[in-house]
Amino acid sequence: MKFLGNVLATVIGIFVFMMLSFFGVILIGAIFGGDDKVSVKSDSVIELNLKQINNDYAGKYKDPWVTVFSDKKGVGLTDVINAIEAAKTDDKIKGISILNDESSLGLAQYKDLRNALESFKKSGKFVWAYSNTYSQKEYYLTSVANKIYINPAGDLDFKGLSSEIMFFKDFQDKSGIHMEVIRHGKYKSAVEPFLENKMSDANREQITALLNSIWSTVSSDISKSRNIPLDKLNQIADGLLARTPEMAKAQNLVDIVAYEDVYHNAIRKALKVDADEDYNKISILDYTQNHVTTALTDTASDQIAIIYAQGEIASGEGDVNVIGEGSMRRSLQEARKNDDVKAIVLRIDSPGGSALTSDLIWREIEITKKVKPVVVSMGNYAASGGYYIACNADKIFAESNTITGSIGVFGMLPNFTPLANKLGINSEQVKTHQNAANYSPFVPIDEKFKAFTLEGVEKIYNTFVTHVAEGRKMTFEQVDAIAQGRVWSGTEALKLGLVDKIGGLNDAIAEAARIAKIKKYSTQNYPEYEKKFNELFANMPFAKSKETFIKEEIGEENYQLIEQVKKFQKQKGVQAVLPFQISIH
């Protein structure tokens, strides 16, 4: 036993030594590693691939250890767009190459990026694109290019938009796991998959209208860039007339069918570089990092604070993927109290979440706008709780294909009574008062408890609608008529009065400056998250091994189904969230 103990102690000692050595090397490199800035050579081309860009904002941290061990090249889409704007007047940059772009960004974010590339082209510099294959979303971005190349063995996806929703009613009946649903709003169909086996007419109506509106924006932009009539584009989509590289070229969706080496040779020729020499290039991440570092030297005393609200809304601190009241309220308070900050832009990309947290953030905005102007910029989503925290701003901007509205709430509780009965499990409660017992998933739902919960849902819905009515200067009845949980595109929301203007983040910043009556200003990004050093390990590969293993065994789609059920089970309190799990293809 003593021998085994000594062996175990030796193994642990070696492991601890290796871990300390590993982190020591990283720390020394972080401290003494020097400047990460990559020099930009003359006649350079920016290579644009957004695979590593996931959010508008990459995040900042109060804990310096978190900063040291975070990815130093972590930049957000906003940084990329600002860098592209700077590249217009950078004499060393001759063009942008969109090369095999793969990204998880949404259509509204692509719209903002597309506008930046369109502006870049007007400087006289080129934007070219090459890809082995083009998804429909990737082609939407790429269609802005002066020249579009495609691999002869590749393909182009151009077929219109669709959305698929899974229904779990039969699964519940067979498994014995039921979801007790309490909702307000005929379009509040986040819970519909647990109630029905098929899509309701109201849900089909709103999804159809949403997809048509988004397609209108996508096809109009492509039509303008490629000089193809809209009717023709719809014919191409209906008939899949661009499914091969040759067909895509015949329809004028691409310009040249060739391999990647031909593409690079063409860039060499445009730059007047010898065929046997490589041309100068810099990745968009490196170029953006250079610009971010340079931008920190801006000496303008007046500032506009940009507060990023990304992800689902939940209690707690939050992070770059979760909107928490901790980081959001602290950011609003800091910006409000900072005399250098003259206006605030709230950038929202959220399908909603906790109604309570949404209300806490709404209240902080209400206090803030009495001191300084608050302008909202909507990204891919500003729906339900995402719209809740937007509705009282001085001005609201949305992209034409932003998904917004969804003014409605619901509550949902898991109930395992049928499953328990099948397994021979019986649960009974003893209580001193009629309503003393908490909700139990192992007994049938009490109708009085259900009535009290519905009362709470109705109260939050009325509060939500009242906030919107006051913020948008509408009557309760006017808001209620377009609420009921229905979602709208940015274009539709503008017509309904839910937003003020169509435009991106930079448009919102310009409006904030106008309201604040300032001309020269710098921007300051928030939140600065209070993430602890030990929380970094949650994202290490060994912490994700179980997730990766399950995905490999059962497949991505089945894993997402399980995760969706788990997510609903974890939600606490009344929810103001997007009315359906939408994935646009």
Strand 575-577 and strand 352-354: pairing?
Answer: antiparallel
In eight-state DSSP terms, residue 541 is: G
Three-class HEC string of 54-86: CCCCCCEECCHHHHHHCCCCCCCHHHHHHHHHH
> Are the CB atoms for 88 and 119 separated by under 8 Å?
yes
| Gap between the Cα atoms of 508 and 390, Å rounded | 13
- 188 or 253, which is more confident: 253
Residue of 44, 225, 354, 384 marked catalytic: 384
| Gap between the Cα atoms of 418 and 439, Å rounded | 16
Backbone φ and ψ for 412, nearest 5 degrees, come out as -145, 130
| Gap between the Cα atoms of 361 and 329, Å rounded | 6
Q: For residue range 439-464, what is the model confidence (pLDDT) as tens digits?
A: 888 888 888 888 888 888 899 999 99
pLDDT at 259 over 90: yes
- 137 or 31, which is more confident: 137
Q: For residue range 402-411, what is the model confidence (pLDDT) as tens digits?
A: 999 999 888 8
Q: For residue range 326-372, what is the model confidence (pLDDT) as tens digits?
A: 999 999 999 999 999 999 999 999 999 999 999 999 999 999 999 99
Helix axes 77-87, 107-121, angle to 10 degrees: 10
Q: Can 188 be counted among the known catalytic residues?
A: yes
231 dihedral zone (left: phi>0; alpha: psi -120 to 50; beta): alpha
Structural domains for the chain = 44-158+242-290 (3.90.226.10), 300-532+560-574 (3.90.226.10)
Q: Can 2 be counted among the known catalytic residues?
A: no
Residue of 94, 111, 137, 188 marked catalytic: 188
pLDDT at 30 over 60: no
Least confident of 141-155, 242-256, 536-550: 536-550
Tell me what pLDDT residue 494 has. 97
Strand 318-319 and strand 93-99: pairing?
Answer: unpaired
CA distances from 182 to 200, 458, 492 (A): 17, 10, 28
